[in-house]
Amino acid sequence: MQTKNKILLDTSALITLLKKEPGHEIVSNIIASSAISSVNLSELIAVLSRFQVSENDIDEIIKDLVPEIIPFCNNIGIKAGKLYKLTKSYGLSFGDRACLATALELGLQVYTADKAWAKLNIPELKIHLIR
């Protein structure tokens, strides 16, 4: 599996952009050359639904915001499961592990607003905190 983009966005980075929170400028500058995991896309849709965003508006946001969606495949699923031991003490969710596993599988840099990710020791992964 290959991706045309070299940057992977965590759900938190996209929420930061949508809510114009601190760090949104960074995401705005890289969004055109980024991708998101299908798992993180599902998380984003759930958050938008929780905020009472209509389904039509969600469809428009996704169409306008997300340039590339990376499917969650077997290899990424296996990597995400294996990351549990490394990430459990930091409280990372399945969605977090899916994002990290996608980045590892495809050799992508990952951008997040989740400060806990900075504590991870994964030498082959480049994590950028947006705030």
Residue 53: helix, strand or coil by DSSP? coil
63-103 pLDDT, tens digit per residue, is 999 889 999 999 999 999 999 999 999 999 999 999 999 99
* DSSP, res 32: G
pTM for the whole structure: 0.93
Measured distance CA(71)–CA(56) in Å, rounded: 22
Delimit the domains of the chain by residue range. Answer: 7-129
What are the residues facing 35 on neighbouring strands?
Answer: 8
Enter the DSSP assignment of 130: -
Q: Given 3.40.50.300, 3.40.50.2300, 3.40.50.1820, 3.40.50.1010, which CATH number is that of 7-129?
A: 3.40.50.1010
pLDDT surpassing 80 at residue 5: no
Taking only the tens place, the pLDDT of each residue in 42-63 is 999 999 999 999 999 999 999 9
